[in-house]
Amino acid sequence: MIFAVRTTAGQEKNVAILLSGKAQKEELDISSILASEKLKGYILVEADSEEEVKYLIKGMPRVKGLVKGTVSLDELDPILIPKKIIENIEKGDVVEIVAGPFKGERAKVIRVDKNKEEVTVELENATVPIPITLPVDSIRVISRNK
């Protein structure tokens, strides 16, 4: 069973490390602990019983409490299965370049290569439109092509 534990926002990783240490030290029946960037203010604990989790979090700093009930695996699919950024980018989208020599510039997507995970863009403020090919993790979508 998977339980959600409320924590102080931004402290999820620290709490997970503390809980992991306590679980190992006291040999508790805790299978796994997950602190995901997608879940602000929560960590997930996999254990056989709710009592084990309650004992684990008792007296821990930055822990606000245990969420009632369990979390199903279906609810965790969006968190556990990463979605590729390239799937969301289309020709005509306006993007901001977040890395490289053109960092901070706005550009329009003119081609998307899903196999290589690259996009070809043209800078918006350039006097001469020059196509620039960038890796998909170097851009951030600002607005979608309607």
Neighbours of 15 (CB within 10 A): 23
Neighbouring residues of 94: CB distance < 8 A, sequence distance ≥ 6: 106, 107, 108, 109, 124, 141, 142, 143
Residues 117 and 64 in one domain: no
Tell me if the pTM is above 0.75.
no
* Range of the structural domain that residue 23 is part of: 2-80
**Which of 80, 95, 129 finishes a domain?**
80
Task: Specify whether 131 is located in the same domain as 72.
Answer: no
pLDDT, position 79: 81
Residue 58 predicted with pLDDT over 90 = yes
Average pLDDT score, the chain: 93
| Whether pLDDT at 82 is above 80 | no
Is 122 a residue whose pLDDT tops 90? yes
CA-based radius of gyration for the chain: 22
Q: Quick one: average pLDDT of 29-56?
A: 94
Note the pLDDT of residue 146: 64
| CATH code for position 57 | 3.30.70.940
Phi and psi torsions of 142, nearest 5°: -100, -50
What is the side-by-side strand order in the sheet with 118-123?
131-135, 118-123, 106-113, 94-97, 139-143
pLDDT of 114 strictly over 80 = yes
Q: How far, in Å, CA of 73 to CA of 25, rounded?
A: 28
User: Are 72 and 95 contained in the same domain?
Assistant: no
pLDDT value of position 87: 81
